[in-house]
Structure 1
Amino acid sequence: MIRVLGCHGSIAARCHTTSFLLDDDILIDAGSGVGELRLDELARIDHILLSHSHLDHILSVPLLADSVIKLRMGPGGLPDLRPIQVHGLPQTLEAIKAHILNGVIWPDFSRLPSAAHPILTLHPFNIGDVLTFPSHGGGADRVVRVLPARHTVPGVGFGVETPQGLWIYTGDTGPNPDLWKLLSGQRIAQLVIETAFGNEEAHLAEISGHLSPQSLAKELAQLDGQVSVFITHPKPGEVPAVLSQIRALDSQHRIEPLREGQRFGVPVSDR
């Protein structure tokens, strides 16, 4: 099960920035949507997969750490603390350490409550890696591929393997030919792809590493077959205009807006 916690490019009432919950223990990005989870749900999160270092995708990492320390301690106290594993590109993790967990913006929870038993541990990955997460309930492993993205900072997308095909999240990206080459011939269950700006701001989308409806059309034309496509990351005040331009596209794919609270009932890989 994949639950959409946030799918906007900024905040407003009932609009949260990007975050998805895979089953009940893996966050894919950690935007403001994480705040929709109850405290007991937050305490069950064991892994956070970060697409890149921009604030709208990482802002809940330090806050989550502060919220769940006591709840993740076992009966033995500090030595039994279950850390949350934060996974990202080396550059992403370095940026978080340098600019967020630096004792100035926020305490360094990669060394707290103690250096030997921190609540956050940092785990680098690279594009092309395949991450495997065992199921707590004895079911199938969760298998996540790290996919290429093209943004203004080093970034990635993710592909969650399911029996129906890949659930793809592009991350923040501009035109991304490497992704479509990689996905050629692959079975895709759903594609979650960003469109951050309207066509009137196509130049801004280009220089900021994002898509507009006209560049989205060119990206989707490189995708084989007919795919269920879900649009994420529009700014709250621009959603109607962006969606209107997307609906006007001539595309063979089924294109819908992503919504907070939406759930994808895709069982994980049984490989």
Structure 2
Amino acid sequence: MENIAFLGTGGTRTPSQGTTCLRVSDHCVIDAGNLINTFGDEVFTIEHIFLTHSHLDHIIDIPFLADLFVTQKSISLKIYGLKATLDDLRRFIFNHRVWPNFEEITLIGHTDKTIELIELDLEVPYTIDDITLTPFKTNHTEGSCGYIIEQNSSALLFTADTYKCDRIWELLDERPNIHTLITEVSFPSSFAKLAYDSKHLTPSLLAEELQKCKRDDFTLCVMHLKALFMGTIIEELNALHLLRNGGKVLIDGDRINYTRP
């Protein structure tokens, strides 16, 4: 693939918008907030899911995907995440109460289990198809991370859900090949207390965080806007001139090239 396809970009699910899901290669996605509706008959091409954390809007299609795969696939669906995220999947989803434990259920007619949960190490690169994903710790949940997404010599930095996080800006300064930052802005600036409690950003918080970065040559895109406040958030982003260097508010169906714009 020559670009990243944004299959879900919303901060909540609506009739016209899915939640976080990025297709980064032919067989690999980041998060599973809008897989089944967008992939259609191609859903069985998915082989790898890299999770940013275990909140419902980022994992919601995984149980249904496992249910589809158990009778149709010959190899396990590989799901990657930090330890706390995988522990949450085992404890709260695949526990034979909320959903069958597909980590123990064998694919029909084959020997592999339906899903395989693979623990990630922070700041270690993982290569799938022709792209490399490097997880880094974010400030959202105990098991939350973002990813540097690289193809050849070009890279993008995807934070997923986060609050203030110094590592984002350190990575941008350390890696000049990162040409685009994709981050979140979930609430208007007037909801600063809610943003702090839920560990999300507002336009004002993002403006403050940008001051930590020495670079100003990267494109900045945002997603995960809460639907009820989308108009207000966009007005604030524009007033603060945050969507720099051709940046935009991402919507479902958008694509960003791996090569520098």
Shared fold per TM-score greater than 0.5: yes
The 3 A distance-change label for structure 1 pair 28 and 47 is same
**Matching of residue 67 in structure 1 with residue 68 in structure 2:** yes
In structure 2, the residue matched to 1:76 is none
Alpha-carbon contact 2:155-2:258 (below 8 Å) kept? no
Number of residue-to-residue matches in the alignment: 253
3-state SS of paired residue (1:62)? helix
In structure 2, the residue matched to 1:195 is 185
In structure 2, the residue matched to 1:246 is 237
Alignment of 1:121-160 (within 5 A): 121-133=116-128, 135=129, 141-160=130-149
Cα offset for 1:161?
1.1
Alpha-carbon contact 1:19-1:34 (below 8 Å) kept? no
Cα offset for 1:182?
2.7
**Matching of residue 266 in structure 1 with residue 258 in structure 2:** yes
1:4-24 deviation per Cα after TM superposition (whole angstroms, max 9, x unaligned): 010111111211110001122
Alpha-carbon contact 1:4-1:259 (below 8 Å) kept? yes
3-state SS of paired residue (2:201)? coil
In structure 2, the residue matched to 1:217 is 207
Q: Output the CA distance in 1 between the equivalents of 2:255 and 2:173.
A: 26
1:107-126 deviation per Cα after TM superposition (whole angstroms, max 9, x unaligned): 11111136952110010012
Alignment of 1:107-186 (within 5 A): 107-113=100-106, 117-133=112-128, 135=129, 141-163=130-152, 165-186=154-175
Q: Percent identity?
A: 28
Cα offset for 1:151?
0.8
> 5+ residue gaps in structure 2?
none
**Matching of residue 18 in structure 1 with residue 20 in structure 2:** yes
3-state SS of paired residue (1:246)? helix
Alpha-carbon contact 2:47-2:76 (below 8 Å) kept? yes
**Matching of residue 46 in structure 1 with residue 39 in structure 2:** no
In structure 1, the residue matched to 2:80 is 87
Q: Output the CA distance in 2 between the equivalents of 1:251 and 1:60.
A: 32
Alpha-carbon contact 1:51-1:171 (below 8 Å) kept? yes
In structure 1, the residue matched to 2:194 is 204
The 3 A distance-change label for structure 1 pair 33 and 230 is farther
Alpha-carbon contact 1:192-1:229 (below 8 Å) kept? yes
1:22-70 deviation per Cα after TM superposition (whole angstroms, max 9, x unaligned): 122101011135421112x210111000001111101111111112333
Q: Output the CA distance in 2 between the equivalents of 1:65 and 1:252.
A: 38
3-state SS of paired residue (2:208)? helix
Alpha-carbon contact 1:113-1:119 (below 8 Å) kept? yes
3-state SS of paired residue (1:5)? strand
Q: Output the CA distance in 2 between the equivalents of 1:161 and 1:262.
A: 18
Q: Output the CA distance in 1 between the equivalents of 2:212 and 2:36.
A: 33
3-state SS of paired residue (1:113)? coil
Alpha-carbon contact 1:221-1:251 (below 8 Å) kept? no
Range that drifts further, 254-263 or 81-90: 254-263
RMSD over aligned Cα atoms: 1.9
Opposite residue 61 of structure 2, the aligned amino acid is S
In structure 2, the residue matched to 1:77 is none
Alpha-carbon contact 2:154-2:258 (below 8 Å) kept? no
The 3 A distance-change label for structure 1 pair 46 and 252 is closer
**Matching of residue 237 in structure 1 with residue 239 in structure 2:** no
